[in-house]
Every structure is written in structure tokens, then in C-alpha cells.
Amino acid sequence: MANTLLQTGPLRPKIKSKKVNNLFFTGQLTVPGPGLPPAVISGEVVAKYILKKQKPIQA
């Protein structure tokens, strides 16, 4: 990631990989803002996304 126009605001990469199934990105560069708090928030966002999208396990 770099501080370029194509990697800011709404143009930032998504949290889910388009190329690799079940690959999610977290870290300070996947959400706006500098520092540790956005990195932690990013992990929480991905965890909630995965839990929301996962299919129930059938016994």
C-alpha cells in the first residue's frame, strides 16, 4: 500500500480478496486513519463480516 489517490477513501482495497477464496485483509491500511486503533478496528470488522457470512455447520 502507498499513499496514492487510488488507495485512499472509497478507492481503498476491500477486506476480502477477489482472487483467493476465504482470504481477508486486516490492518491499519484497510480502514481510514493512522495508528493502532484502526488496525484493531479493522480486525473486528473482518471478524464480524466472517461471522455474518459463514454458513451454519450441520451435524
Cell triple for residue 12? 481503498
Write down the pLDDT at residue 33.
55
What are the pLDDT digits (tens) for 1-59? 566 777 667 777 777 888 998 888 776 555 555 667 777 887 888 889 888 888 777 66
Q: Tell me the β-bridge partners of 16.
A: 24
| pLDDT on residue 29 | 57
User: So what's the pLDDT on residue 15?
Assistant: 76
CB-CB contact of 38 with 28 (8 Å): yes
